[in-house]
Amino acid sequence: MRLIVLLAICSVAIIGAACAGGYKKDMSQGEKIFRTYCQTCHTLPQPSLKTDDQWLPLVQRYGKRAKLSQRQIELITQYLTDNN
C-alpha cells in the first residue's frame, strides 16, 4: 500500500514539474504566440522594456522574419502594448 501511495505522489510531482514551464491558464493568445515563437531565437524581453511606439516596428520586423501571420503579429503586439 505504501508503495502505491509513494508512486502516486511521485507521479503527481513529475507531472507538476513537467507542466511548470507550460502556459498560465489566463494567458492571452498573443502571449502564447510570443512565448512560443519569440523565445526560439532569444530570451524573452519584458513588455515594459519598450513603449507602444517601439514595440510595433520590432514585432513587425521580427514577426515577418519568423514567418508569422499578420494576425499573429497583431496579437503579439497587442499583448506587449497591453502589458508595458
Residue where the block lists cell 502516486: 8
Residue where the block lists cell 513587425: 60
69 phi and psi angles, rounded to 5 deg: -75, 160
Model pLDDT for residues 31-77, shown as the tens digit of each residue: 999 999 998 888 999 999 999 999 999 999 999 999 999 999 999 99
Strands, DSSP E only, in 1-84?
Answer: none
Model pLDDT for residues 22-32, shown as the tens digit of each residue: 556 789 999 99
Domain count, the chain: 1
Note down the domain range covering 69: 2-82
